[in-house]
Amino acid sequence: MTASKKEMFREYLASQGLKSTSQREIILDEFLRSDAHPSTEDLYLRVRKKHPQIGYATVHRTLKLFADCGIASVRNFGDGSTRYESIAEDEHHDHLVCQSCGLIIEFEDDQIEKLQEKVAGTHNFRVLDHRLELYGLCEKCQ
Amino acid sequence: MTASKKEMFREYLASQGLKSTSQREIILDEFLRSDAHPSTEDLYLRVRKKHPQIGYATVHRTLKLFADCGIASVRNFGDGSTRYESIAEDEHHDHLVCQSCGLIIEFEDDQIEKLQEKVAGTHNFRVLDHRLELYGLCEKCQ
DNA sequence: GTAGGTTTGAAATCGATTTTCATTCTTAGG
DNA sequence: CCTAAGAATGAAAATCGATTTCAAACCTAC
């Protein structure tokens, strides 16, 4: 899984005439080993610990490349920062977001997926991506 | 419906020791009569047509009040601007967003709502709000 | 190797959002 | 009615995250 993402990224770079650099490798490694939903800032801070010479702009640009090539998707949980999430090709998952402590729980539900397709069908709409977030209070915060 | 929202807003202001002002009335009227998902900028431009003396900051602050008091919810469709949507207390609706032309279709689906509650239940999570967006291509853009 | 294009990092910029601050307004109490 | 106390307003400034600029450093194919 991890190996195939690194593969996908290299292939994407090659296909676009872009270059493989040590910074991009380092950032991808850190991204794959990182929190589920890092913001650019989050990932930059992590990368900087081991590689202080890598700049914020490079992390930012590299995360956009991840999104472009399909190994990450862009999320926004309402806290004002854009987050990136590593994705597997065939799997969707959604989120429970605790508005008190910020806890994020991931879940998957095939029935909901199917109903989404059904709704889209009634509007002759072709779904390419979706986002479902449930906001509220986690067990501890209630 | 419209009347009850004005009512709710006034009650909220009173309950918080906040004041009723002509600007807030004007902005609420314009919000209720406005596009389904205006950004602060959108609403400011509309308000300014008839009331050039009302400033952007006031529109911004008033929209936040709408969200605080529950007559509007905050949306983000990935275009970089925050949008506000008028909501009725007991009704949720979700969105189909066309990534080509920007068309936004609203829909409601009770079955999906119920499944969401079920999923939340299995995580002992109390849902206060949710967001479901399906991104893709509308009939025309396919 | 080397040329040509790409990437990098620091700093500048951008656009949206939020805050500041002096002035004006609302409202509850006299 | 007044008035005092606190809240709201609008213009401008500050802030914040995201993005771009630019000169120097770096890949890669030839």
Region B105-115: mean pLDDT is: 91
Q: Average the pLDDT over each of A90-94, B59-63, B113-117 and give the range with the smallest value.
A: A90-94
Q: What pairing do the DSSP bridges indicate for beta strands B126-137 and A126-137?
A: antiparallel
> B102 or B3: whose pLDDT is higher?
B102
Question: Which pLDDT value is given to residue B141?
Answer: 87
Region A68-77: mean pLDDT is: 91
Using the CA of A18, which nucleotide's C1' is the nearest one? C6
Closest residue to D26 (CA, C1′) = A21
Q: Is it the case that residue B90 has pLDDT exceeding 80?
A: no
Question: Which pLDDT value is given to residue B101?
Answer: 81
CA distance B127 to chain A (A): 4
Considering only CB atoms, A132 lies closest to which of B78, B128, B132, namely: B132
Q: What is the pTM of this model?
A: 0.80
CA nearest neighbour of B10 among B19, B47, B2: B19
For chain A, list the strands marked E by DSSP: 72-76, 82-86, 94-98, 104-107, 126-137
A79 close to A117: Cβ distance less than 8 angstroms? no
Residue B99 pLDDT level (bands cut at 50, 70, 90): confident
Token reading at A17: 């005439």
Question: Which pLDDT value is given to residue B49?
Answer: 95
Contact residues on chain A for B78, CB-CB shorter than 8 A: 74, 76
Tens of pLDDT, residues B35-71: 789 999 999 999 999 999 999 999 999 999 999 998 9
Question: Which pLDDT value is given to residue B91?
Answer: 73
How high does pLDDT run on average in chain B? 90
Residue A52 exposure: Cα atoms within 13 Å on the Cβ side: 0
**What is the three-state SS of A40-97?**
HHHHHHHHHHHCCCCCHHHHHHHHHHHHHHCCEEEEECCCCCEEEEECCCCCCCEEEE
The H or E element that residue B132 is part of is strand B126-137
Cα angle B44, B49, B53 (rounded to 5 degrees) comes to 75
Q: Do A137 and B126 touch (CB under 8 A)?
A: yes
Tens of pLDDT, residues A103-126: 889 999 999 999 999 999 999 999
Tens of pLDDT, residues A12-67: 999 999 999 999 999 999 999 987 899 999 999 999 999 999 999 999 999 999 99
Q: Is it the case that residue B33 has pLDDT exceeding 70?
A: yes
